A and B are shown apart, each in its own frame.
Chain A
Amino acid sequence: MCVGVNVVPVTYDDLRRPPLDALALSRALTRPGSLWRDVEVVPEAPSTNALVAARARAGEAPGLVVLAEHQTAGRGRLGRVWETPAGSALTFSLLVAPDRVPAARWPWLPLLTGLAVAEGVRRVTEVDCALKWPNDVLVGDRKVAGILVERVEHAEGAAAVVGVGLNVSMSAEELPVPTATSLALEGAATTDRTVVVREVLRAFEALYGQWQAEGGDLTRGLHEAYVRRCATIGRTVRVDLPTGEQVHGEASRVDADGRLAVTTDRGTRVLGAGDVVHVRAV
């Protein structure tokens, strides 16, 4: 951590970073018949995903949302850990149980979540964000939000913990990596986290409801909506596979299973995991 001369403790008096309004979120989101049953704000948590996963294993019903004002050890893919300054980001996890979607189609859930974040953010902040396959939310080529979904098995069946980290009011100096950005840095119309997360959760509810109603079948609209927001398609990419292998080519499409097809000089590869780098045209 970098210590400057002006060490200003971040508190709830920080007008740029008002606290999350748990009551307003509950009122707006937990109406009868809605997906969300309980919206909780905790002051601090190492990882909201770990917290919600533990509650799921202990029998918590789906429909739970837990937001942390300050997440101290957020977990990304492959155990990567990050911390965000208090009040500067939206860090939250959702508990859902897609009981009408067969297990083989669950991998669409991370993509659906990316789409919900992008749509919700666009609506209230007017920031033009898009998706990098499968679900990083980008503004231009900079990452503003990341998502990690974990399947959790418990006595009554399976559930999914959906974790989202969205950079809201971080300054350039506060960004975890130079390739990241925040809504504030992108000129967002609002950086009120309560307003932003309310819209993201509404967008999630609508997309998830459609996905469940279709039994996970995306032929009726969701696939098209994802493709429209996916900035990877048509780009020259490098994909770092979990094996360490690199695939270079043009991202040609996202198939019905959500996998990315990359056209290389030795044919087409269809990928279900890997880190995509959008390569700039030279």
Chain B
Amino acid sequence: MARDPKTAEIVAEMVANVMRVVVAPGDRLEAGDTVVLLESMKMEIPVLVEAPGTVTAVKVGEGDVVQEGDVLVTLDL
């Protein structure tokens, strides 16, 4: 029986607005790829993945306000 692939959740590190969502479900990502661009107080914060994986869900949309710890994107590693 195949083991479930490992999954990862990419979370916001701070309260911010979602400026741009760069990925969609199914996208294959390399370490260092940007998934979401956040903005807080005129600071642009690209959120990157630390390991390669495939996007399983995008939990936010452009214009959303996210809180520290909110899940932005989930991945299968």
Task: Annotate B40-74 by CB proximity to A: 1 below 8 A, 0 otherwise.
Answer: 11111110100000000000001101001000000
Task: Annotate A51-88 by CB proximity to B: 1 below 8 A, 0 otherwise.
Answer: 00000000000000000000000000110000000000
Option from B19, B43, B48 in Cβ contact (under 8 Å) with A242? B19
CB distance B13 to A135 under 8 Å?
A: no
Q: Say yes or no for B10: interface residue by CB 8 A criterion.
A: no
Q: Say yes or no for A150: interface residue by CB 8 A criterion.
A: yes
Task: Annotate B11-29 by CB proximity to A: 1 below 8 A, 0 otherwise.
Answer: 0011111010000000000
Q: Say yes or no for A120: interface residue by CB 8 A criterion.
A: no
Option from B19, B43, B63, B65 in Cβ contact (under 8 Å) with A151? B43
| Chain A residues closer than 8 Å to B40, beta-carbon distance | 106-107, 272-273
Number of interface residues of A (CB under 8 A): 29
Other than A134-B41, A273-B42, give 18 A-B pairs with Cβ distance below 8 A. A77-B39, A107-B14, A107-B43, A110-B42, A111-B41, A135-B41, A148-B42, A150-B45, A151-B43, A151-B45, A241-B63, A242-B62, A258-B41, A259-B15, A272-B16, A272-B17, A272-B65, A273-B41
Chain B positions within 8 Å of A, measured between CB atoms, are 13-17, 19, 32, 39-46, 48, 62-63, 65, 68
Closest 7 CB pairs of A and B: A243-B63, A107-B40, A103-B13, A149-B43, A273-B17, A107-B41, A104-B14
